[in-house]
Structure 1
């Protein structure tokens, strides 16, 4: 499954890079192409990170605590607390309902 995911991510990054390059109708150098791939990978990384943050908040809204969230993504409770310091209040509010 991870192999398929990596292949799909590579395809998405290349498609994004092609779209970034399509604004320039001229022939691109190898350097420009590789920089477009880097820009596309960075954009995808940023968007995936935003989705991860939203998912952490969503999990806290249904009562997941730092240990639960950390376990779900392979980090410690302390790591989850450092990444999302405000989730404790969200979890407390969810558990009071």
Structure 2
């Protein structure tokens, strides 16, 4: 049995590879469930195209869901005091990129931790 989740600290590349693998598997399963068999048999090329298009639709839905989750967590981070530089860094973009992606996310009323002097 694996240890507590907090002991697993993958690198960015490992996380991306793992998520890619999981999303690919999920998309394949969802596409199989969503693909209704055609009324008439298709040749292999047509069947391959049909399956690829169903899978592509599923992946577009996954991308939309991930984008929605990113928006929710960006708002949570901002409400917890994170600024555009931190939020941008977390998603691999600049402060300006984060500001363009989530305009108005950080306002003057959002509490920001103030640096303490020693």
TM-score per shorter chain, which class? 0.7 to 0.9
Indicate the RMSD between aligned Cα atoms, in angstroms. 1.7
Deviation at 1:3, TM superposition (A): 2.5
Alignment of 1:94 onto 2:106: no
Task: Tell me the residue number matched to 2:58.
Answer: 40
The count of residues paired between Structure 1 and Structure 2 equals: 92
Moved over 6 A (4+): none
> C-alpha deviations, 1:38-89, integer Å up to 9, x for none?
0000000000000001010000001111111011111100000000001122
For the pair shown, which has the larger CA radius of gyration, 1 or 2? 2
The normalised TM-score by structure 1 is 0.85
CA separation in 1, counterparts of 2:17 and 2:99? Answer: 30
Give structure 1 stretches of 5+ with no counterpart: none
Which has the bigger relative contact order, CA under 8 A and spacing at least 6? 1
Unaligned runs of 5+ in 2: 1-13, 113-118
Q: Which has the higher helix share?
A: 1
TM-score scaled by length of structure 2: 0.71
Q: Give the aligned partner of residue 37 of structure 2.
A: 25
